[in-house]
Amino acid sequence: MTGDIYFDAAHARATAVWMELQRVTHFGGVREGAGFDKLSRNGFVLNGTHANRPAMSQYQSELLRLLDSRGYIHQLTDAGGLDALAARETITGYVGFDATAPSLHVGHMIQIMLLRRLQQAGHKPIVLVGGGTSKIGDPSFKDEARKLMTTETIAQNIRSILPVYQRFLRFGDGPTDAVLMDNAEWLDRLEYIPFLRDIGQHFSVNRMLSFESVKLRLDREQSLSFLEFNYMILQAYDFLELSRRMKCVLQLGGSDQWGNIVNGVELGRRVDGAQLFGVTTPLITTADGKKMGKTEAGAVWLNAEQLSPYDFWQFWRNTQDADVGKFLRLFTDLPLDEVARLEALQGSEVNEAKKRLADAVTTMVHGEQASDAAAETARRTFEEGSAGDALPSLAVPQGEIGIVDALVGLGLAASKGEARRLIAGGGARIAGEKVEDESARISVDGQVRISAGKKKHGLLTR
């Protein structure tokens, strides 16, 4: 049914715990040997360079033309084979997501959009949440092991992030409807000795040790547990299982997933003789070279409980001029000719493009009503100087609060230390007046507007 999550009865448990299988390890390019010499001759990407990749105009499939025209393709395996298959028939592809928090963040959006594009091109997407792999934790490019989560915590996180997928994808039982699956369905049932014998034999420890994410931990003499070391094997096994259960032939992910995607492609070939494919997206950075999706206040969450729709709207409204076109292509459904028009705007007119970006993405994530309210609050706040209803608010029943506590409580600063630095730098204001004393107390009778810089505001209420 449109709008409802469909659980394939044979493959997913209605009460299962789901998670995200997202980043595992950077492969650093396909190397000769270890079974990859054959693969590299068949169109794999070598060290980030597209091998045997047709120009965009040469793609035959709607899928690859769509992904390429909007800037999603960084690396792909056997471009010709994937292009021909996607042009000939409906294919099934998946992305994995870790349930490491009660909300996904902007960094996950590129992968969700990949699934959306897959469905828009007439193919079937699978959202794979890892109730099994979440119990281990992805070690990729982490300085230390993730804190192990209980099954209950994983389940709570999954329930919390589930509605996000429904906003981007059409779920149901049709041939191109999305399906939600949980890798605990097969991982929790594995028998250790048979798994080592049947699957472990296809993995080289020498090559696994050469992965950049592993080398970084070892070079720093930081512990890498055997538990974490097995994560990359389990992700490859997920691809094998989805191939068997759902005839899934495509795994999509970020560029840091390249090595693990190749592992899954190779495992399917060795064990079942299956022809599988992989596509990765580039690392999304802003014009100044920073990783997209992080702010001084922390992650840009997709759930309204973690970040208000107004602050989410403001994040996109504050996009740098040089990034507007790229973000419109990646994160909205606006036609490419309209994107080109907006991207060409200069001077103050570029603000129109930024507002269109903020409106479109906020509508997709939070709904049209929340987007409109955020836009109206921004207009009233910045154009009229009044306080909009969608600003984050903090109740102060006692009628008085310190400025540091107010900044943190409103989410305008991530910590008290950051709040003090903001005050010292002259960026904190009470009702438009600069705060110079970090010990200042605020009397609240009605509403008091608190500002952090020029673009972040909140209301104290009583």
Domains and CATH numbers, the chain: 37-281 (3.40.50.620), 308-384 (1.10.240.10), 393-461 (3.10.290.10)
DSSP 106-143: HHHHHHHHHHHHHHHTT-EEEEEE-TTGGGT---TT-S
> What pLDDT shows up at residue 213?
63
DSSP 8-state secondary structure symbol assigned to residue 148 = P
Lowest mean pLDDT among 195-209, 343-357, 402-416: 195-209
Going by pLDDT thresholds of 50, 70 and 90, the confidence category of residue 303 is: very high
Residue 236 makes CB contacts below 8 A (sequence gap 6+) with: 203, 260, 263, 264, 266, 267
Catalytic site residue from 41, 220, 290, 291: 291
pLDDT at 142 exceeding the cut of 80: no
Catalytic site residue from 77, 111, 133, 235: 235
The residue among 391, 8, 378, 395 whose CA lies nearest residue 174 is 8
> What pLDDT shows up at residue 317?
92
Catalytic, 434? Answer: no
Q: In 3-state terms, what secondary structure has residue 294? A: strand
Identify whether the C-beta of residue 309 lies closer than 8 Å to the C-beta of residue 371. yes
Going by pLDDT thresholds of 50, 70 and 90, the confidence category of residue 321 is: very high
Catalytic, 294? Answer: yes
pLDDT at 189 exceeding the cut of 70: yes
The residue among 54 and 38 whose pLDDT is bigger is 54
Lowest mean pLDDT among 31-35, 49-53, 62-66, 285-289: 31-35
CA–CA distance, 243 with 250 (Å, rounded to integer)? 9
Rounded to an integer, the average pLDDT of 383-392 is: 59
The residue among 246, 21, 280 whose CA lies nearest residue 140 is 21
> What pLDDT shows up at residue 6?
37
pLDDT at 77 exceeding the cut of 70: yes
Name the average pLDDT for the chain.
81
Written as one letter, the residue type at 101 is A
Catalytic, 147? Answer: no
CA–CA distance, 250 with 201 (Å, rounded to integer)? 23
Catalytic, 202? Answer: no
Catalytic, 251? Answer: no
Written as one letter, the residue type at 349 is E
Pairing state of beta strands 92-97 and 75-76?
unpaired
Catalytic site residue from 22, 100, 251, 281: 100
> What pLDDT shows up at residue 85?
98
Catalytic site residue from 146, 269, 329, 355: 146
Catalytic site residue from 26, 65, 108, 356: 108
Catalytic site residue from 238, 256, 311, 323: 256
Catalytic, 215? Answer: no
Identify whether the C-beta of residue 293 lies closer than 8 Å to the C-beta of residue 299. yes
Per-residue model confidence as pLDDT tens digits over 411-455: 888 899 888 998 998 889 887 678 888 888 988 766 687 888 877
Lowest mean pLDDT among 105-119, 125-139, 356-370: 125-139
DSSP 322-345: GGHHHHHHHH----HHHHHHHHT-
Catalytic site residue from 13, 31, 50, 142: 142
Catalytic site residue from 120, 153, 176, 295: 295
pLDDT at 48 exceeding the cut of 80: no
Catalytic site residue from 74, 207, 215, 294: 294
* This prediction's pTM: 0.75
Catalytic, 77? Answer: no
Catalytic site residue from 105, 329, 380, 416: 105
Per-residue model confidence as pLDDT tens digits over 206-252: 777 766 666 776 777 777 777 777 888 999 999 999 999 999 999 99
Count Cα atoms within 13 angstroms, Cβ side, for 130.
30
CA–CA distance, 260 with 234 (Å, rounded to integer)? 10
CA–CA distance, 250 with 94 (Å, rounded to integer)? 6
Catalytic, 281? Answer: no
CA–CA distance, 88 with 80 (Å, rounded to integer)? 12
> What pLDDT shows up at residue 446?
62
Q: In 3-state terms, what secondary structure has residue 3? A: coil
> What pLDDT shows up at residue 302?
96
